[in-house]
Copies of this chain bind each other. A is one copy, B any other.
Amino acid sequence: MKNLLVILLLCASSYVLAQSADEQQIKKIYDASLTEGKGYDWLNYLSNQIGGRLSGSVQAQQAVEYTKRQLDSLGLDRVWLQPVMVPKWVRGVPEFAYIETRPGLTTNVPICALGGSVATPDGGLKANVIEVQSFEELEALGTDRVRGKIVFYNRPMDPTLISTFEAYGGCVNQRYSGAEQAAKYGAAGVIVRSMNLRLDDYPHTGSMNYGDTPVTQRIPAAAISTNGAELLSTTLKLNPNIQFYFNQNCKQLPDVESYNVIGEITGSEYPNEVMIVGGHLDSWDLGDGSHDDGAGCVQSMDVLHLLKKTGYQPKRTLRVVLFMNEENGLRGGNKYAEVAKKKSENHIFALESDAGGFTPRGFSFDCSDENFKKIETWKTLFEPYLIHMFVRGGSGADVGPLKNENIVLSGLRPDSQRYFDHHHAENDTFEHVNKRELQLGAATMTSLIYLVDKYGFTQPIKVKG
């Protein structure tokens, strides 16, 4: 009993010392990020000198070259490009749409083609509209009521959910599978309410998929702004026989070669244990992709920069991975995991930032109970920086393909309230990213990487003075 007490006291005192060293290192990281972080300047270049970076575009290639050059300048141990074939979908000339209440009486509404959609027929598509809130409602209407019409999916995001990502999750099937479902009943086209909690005039694009629909039966799909959706819905209530016209010229071209951009600091003690931190370098084409996901890319790059700035040499191998093609294919995420598997690399941790450059609130973790318990012991280290959320849950799309029993997957969780005001829309632009919020996110990620590197995941916490 007495011996146990002595051991406990010893543990407790080394714990205090260890805590204090961790507190100091984390303070150094936050200070460095808030005063010498490079992320905001990198983002300025990506957003304002390059712009939207749709997979397969010239801008995506420019982003690959720019970020590689920047990683080269950081003095890492290795920087390389990992080739990956990506889909190339192009929007073509700007879309155009109107509501026609009677012949010749039209009101223009803002729309944009969904990513992956086919074009409308030459000259556009004009048809009656049937509004639904769900696939069940569509099914109940059946072919007789749907054939030849434009199906208008108008289920809004639930404003009472505190996490706007949850509200998004409750709606996005309309965008992703709406055309596939409507085509089954002979619809001529699909218009989807933008995934946006705010009422405004921006249509929000995003990926969609035709599933098994034969090529000849694929119908064009577009998003309409939330104000446009409200107008269309109100108009339909007054007169169900109105017509809707839209014209879009998007198309799918053959796949092209692109790259994941990777930089590495090789671990000094356990080089075969690999930690990665990343975001996706591609974006949609309407805005400049500042929040989605320029922010996550530059924060991830800053993690390596900030560790160097604070004089910390990782014991484990740390890689930043800027994934290509998260938005419409996930080819980069899949390729990275495929190569890692082929090389039998042991990835112990993957952290993704793909939820905007807003004030960080915490992390989500997809891992074993045991590892989550270990992670939770670090929570108090983050409280001085107002990081309170350590929750179980999904991490991020790009690191998903690495999932196995041993790896810990994690996602940065920034404040989500403003995210869907900008997501996939023309107003996802640089001026909507606050420098300090971005920097705090980078520091929070760097601090977690530091702790994972120091304590690892396979054995109990090693206490060091």
Contacts and interface: CB of A to CB of B under 8 A. Distances in A.
A421 B436 CA distance: 11
Interface residues of A, number: 26
Interface string A57-91: 00000000000000000000000000000000000
Interface stretch (A29-37, A129-137, A364-372): A29-37
B415 A359 contact: yes
A389 interface: yes
A457 interface: no
A363 to B, nearest CB: 14
Given A415-B359, A418-B437, A434-B417, A386 B385 contact: no
Contact of A34 (B31, B159, B388, B421): B159
Copies of this chain, tallied across the complex: 2
A198 B440 CA distance: 15
Pick from A386, A418, A435 the residue with the most CB of B within 10 Å: A386
Nearest to A439: B159
B160 A34 contact: yes
Contact of A421 (B31, B388, B434, B440): B434
Interface in A165-211: 197-198
Contact of A359 (B159, B359, B385, B435): B359
Contact of A198 (B359, B388, B435): B435
B386 A436 contact: no
A386 B391 CA distance: 12
A162 interface: yes
A288 to B, nearest CB: 19
Interface in A345-366: 359, 361
Given A160-B30, A197-B436, A418-B434, A361 B389 contact: no
A254 interface: no
Contacts of A30: 160, 162
A460 interface: no
A436 B159 CA distance: 9
Contacts of A436: 159, 164, 197, 417-418
